[in-house]
Homo-oligomer: A and B are copies of this chain.
Amino acid sequence: MPTLDEIAKLSGYSKATVSRVLNQSPHVSPETREKILAIMKEKDYVPNRNAISLSKGQTQQIGMITMDLSELILRFMNSFVELSGRNGFQTIIYTTGGDQQKELQAFEDLKRKRVDALLILTSVNDTNIIASYCKYGPIVSWQRMDHPEIPSVAMNQYDGYALALEHLIERGYTRIANAFGRPGSINTRSRRLAYEHIMSKHSLPAAEKWYYSSIYSIRDGERVVQSLVEGTDRPDAILCANDLVAAGVLSEARRQRLDVPRGLAIVGFDDSELSRTLGITTVRNPIAGQAENAFLLLAPALLGRNPQLQPLSFSLVKRETT
């Protein structure tokens, strides 16, 4: 394949002129442009995209950082990838497995201009370290970061959790277990806070003995039920970290012949297809809306536009498990 140098020589124009044609600069006469393009076509010249990126200073790539590829992350990514694709951006996914060094690689790539922007889905590095990279390009986050320089599209899980809890209490459930996700995460802290506030508001005791944490999957949900039935003192409801956990809780409760919802109520979180088909009461989490807002937050830096974010809220979806 010929190089840009050779195209310049063959056409009799300078490299700078050939480069202007490649970059669709208006400062080239139509005749010159046509002559150069004809030679490129004849010689099957393919511009090297890295060279183009270099000259434009943009890679048209957005990096996404995630600990893992879970079902929820997938829903978020689907919306984000679709919207950024429509705007001409490709997505690189950095899966970190929760490793701080691997995750920093993504931030180093922002610094080195390998990506134009970063979207954090889940991060394990200190927010101050992350914020120190903001000077190299825009960084937005799905996860709540609680740092002024890193805007987040996260919704306050307190609100969604409170909806679920008020619903359970209204139905007469008082002995409520919690299957939390990542211990110490902002989401888990918000949910726990909601639980403690709402219980206290109704003069009900918060039952720490039924706090489960690091509960993510179907199998984790099954294990929670197995552990509960071993005890004599049992809750009458379980609030689950997500719908997968709720599906596991429901399946195992059926296997253990627990009476759902009378003996045990189950509430999921997210409103996935799975919760719908299994008839699980859940909290609708507007994931696609959050993904779109994440892209809109990057739009000023990437597209020079400043669109309005859409307002989003949680809602309760009442089904057969409560």
- A residues with CB within 8 A of B: 46-51, 53-54, 59, 61, 68-69, 71, 74, 77-78, 81-82, 85, 90-95, 97, 102, 109, 111-114, 217-219, 222, 244, 247-248, 251-252, 273-274, 276-279
Q: How far is the CA of A252 from the CA of B218 in the complex (A)?
A: 20
CA distance A114 to B95 in the complex (A): 20
Chain A residues touching B, majority SS: helix
- Residue of chain B at shortest CB distance from A70: B74
Q: Which of A51, A69, A109 has the most CB of B within 10 A?
A: A69
Asked whether A46 and B102 contact (CB < 8 A) given A77-B69, A95-B81, A274-B218, the answer is no
Is the pair A95, B112 in contact by a Cβ cutoff of 8 Å?
A: no
A92 and B94 contact, Cβ closer than 8 Å, known pairs A49-B113, A112-B46, A277-B222: no
CA A94 to CA B54, docked complex, whole Å: 22
Q: How far is the CA of A247 from the CA of B50 in the complex (A)?
A: 46
> In the bound complex, do residue A251 and residue B278 qualify as a contact, i.e. CB atoms below 8 Å apart?
yes
Residues of B within 8 A of A274 (CB): 218, 247, 274
B54 contacts A51, CB within 8 Å? yes
Alpha-carbon separation in the docked complex, A50 to B68 (Å) = 27
Given A69-B78, A218-B277, 16 more A-B residue pairs with CB atoms under 8 Å apart are A48-B54, A49-B113, A50-B54, A51-B54, A54-B54, A61-B92, A71-B74, A74-B74, A81-B93, A82-B97, A92-B92, A218-B276, A247-B277, A251-B278, A252-B277, A274-B274
| Contact (Cβ within 8 A) B94 A69 | no
Specify the chain B residue showing the minimal Cβ separation from A136. B46
Min CB gap A45→B, angstroms: 11
Which of the listed residues A49, A217, A251, A273 has the most CB atoms from chain B within 10 Å of its own CB?
A: A49
Distance between Cα atoms of A113 and B279 in the complex (Å): 49
Closest to A115 in B: B49
Contact of A90 among B94, B222, B248 (CB under 8 A): B94
